[in-house]
């Protein structure tokens, strides 16, 4: 197992984010209106463009999420058919991360739940996770959905992303694109979740959450710079 720290890890993260954004940009024209965006539609589009065979199988072990095989005979992604939709989407995106970032390093990747966890120390798995989160919810989609006033659970449903994956994706979006530190970013996202849930119960409107003003203010500043 290869473990990296500090600047080396940041370089790996940056490469994963940039690669995912390039892959999305190449296929973004497929969505005429970003309000119609769904990550499963994007994943199918990419798999088709790359001529990858996608298959599912009910693996006996629930911990086995998926695998990627790339050699002179085939390019195949197999996912566990017992996975719920959100976990399936992340697993497929994770395998695409291996495909775009690591296929020159090895020809087969077998991924279990521990490999797709946020706290994995393996550099290839960590990088594939960062790629997957960025691909499922690219920067332009995050911005568009927030600018159109969607709340936390509307974004989750529309994108087909898990509760936890959306939380950390928004935290990292605020850190990387709006200059917040991790602690403040987490507070903002937790407030966003709270107001979103309260809004669904008609207690308070979700647009009172500070995430909307942060995103709008920063984008306005970029425009006038």
Looking up residue 22, the CATH number of its domain turns out to be: 1.10.10.2910
Residues 16 and 113 in one domain: yes
- Range with lowest mean pLDDT among 22-31, 112-121, 136-145, 168-177: 112-121
For the cut 60, the answer to whether the pLDDT of residue 122 exceeds it is yes
Are residues 40 and 105 located together in one domain of the fold? yes
Q: Are residues 19 and 70 in the same domain?
A: yes
Q: How far is CA 4 from CA 29, 120, 177, 212, in A?
A: 36, 11, 24, 35
What is residue 217's predicted lDDT score, i.e. its pLDDT?
76
Residues 58 and 116 in one domain: yes
Is the pLDDT assigned to residue 224 strictly greater than 50? no
> 55: domain range?
1-136
Last residue of a domain, one of 87, 104, 136: 136
Q: Is the per-residue pLDDT at 221 higher than 90?
A: no
pLDDT at 30: 83
Q: Which of 6-10, 130-134, 145-149, 179-183 has the lowest mean pLDDT?
A: 6-10
Same structural domain, 77 and 47: yes
pTM score? 0.89
**d(Cα 129, Cα 115) in Å, to the nearest integer?**
9
pLDDT of amino acid 40: 94
The dihedral region occupied by 51, where left means phi > 0, alpha psi between -120 and 50, and beta the remainder, is left
Give the DSSP letter of residue 78. E
Quick one: 108 and 146 in the same domain?
Answer: no
Q: In the listed set 86, 104, 136, which residue is the last one of a domain according to the structure?
A: 136
> Does residue 196 register a pLDDT over 50?
yes
Collapsed DSSP state (helix, strand, coil) of residue 75 = strand
**Segment 172-191 mean pLDDT:** 96
Report the chain's mean pLDDT, rounded to a whole number.
Answer: 90
Q: What is the mean pLDDT of residues 65-91?
A: 94
Write down which residue in 90, 121, 136 finishes a domain.
136
Instruction: Tell me, yes or no, whether 76 and 122 share the same domain.
Output: yes
110 and 31 assigned to the same domain: yes
When pLDDT is averaged across residues 6-26 and rounded to a whole number, the result is 92
Q: Cα torsion at 91, 64, 108, 99 (round to 10°)?
A: 0
Share of the chain above pLDDT 90, in %: 75
pLDDT at 2: 43
Same domain, 87 and 170: no
- For 37, the token pair is 């965006």
The reported pLDDT for the residue numbered 31 is 83
> Range with the lowest mean pLDDT among 10-14, 49-53, 155-159, 202-206?
202-206
Taking the CA of residue 143 as centre, how many other CA atoms within 13 Å lie in the half-sphere pointing to its CB?
A: 12
DSSP-based three-state secondary structure for 24 = helix
Residue 69 banded pLDDT, cuts 50, 70, 90: very high
pLDDT at 218: 58
| Residue 149 and residue 38 share a domain | no
Handedness of CA 173, 174, 175, 181 (dihedral sign): negative
Q: What is the domain count for the chain?
A: 2
Are 122 and 173 part of one and the same domain?
no
Q: How sure is the predictor about 223, in pLDDT bands with cuts at 50, 70 and 90?
A: very low
Same domain, 86 and 36: yes
């Amino acid at each position: 197992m290869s473990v990296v720290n500090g600047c080396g890890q940041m370089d790996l993260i940056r490469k994963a984010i940039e690669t995912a954004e390039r892959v999305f940009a190449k296929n973004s024209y497929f969505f005429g209106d970003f309000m119609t965006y769904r990550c499963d539609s994007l994943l199918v589009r990419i798999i088709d463009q790359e001529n990858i065979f996608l298959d599912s199988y009910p693996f006996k072990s629930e911990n086995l999420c998926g695998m990627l095989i790339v050699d002179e005979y085939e390019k195949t992604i197999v996912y566990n058919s017992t996975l719920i939709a959100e976990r399936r989407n992340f697993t497929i995106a994770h395998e695409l991360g291996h495909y775009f970032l690591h296929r020159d390093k090895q020809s087969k990747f077998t991924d279990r739940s521990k490999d797709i966890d946020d706290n994995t120390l393996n550099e290839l798995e960590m990088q594939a996770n960062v790629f997957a989160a960025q691909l499922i919810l690219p920067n332009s989609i995050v911005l568009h959905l927030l600018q159109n006033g969607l709340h936390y659970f509307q974004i989750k449903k529309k994108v087909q992303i898990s509760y936890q994956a959306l939380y950390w994706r928004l935290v990292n979006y605020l850190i990387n694109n709006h200059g917040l530190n991790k602690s403040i970013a987490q507070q903002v996202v937790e407030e966003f979740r709270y107001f979103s849930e309260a809004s669904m119960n008609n207690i308070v409107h979700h647009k009172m959450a500070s995430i909307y003003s942060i995103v709008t203010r920063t984008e306005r500043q970029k425009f006038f710079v």
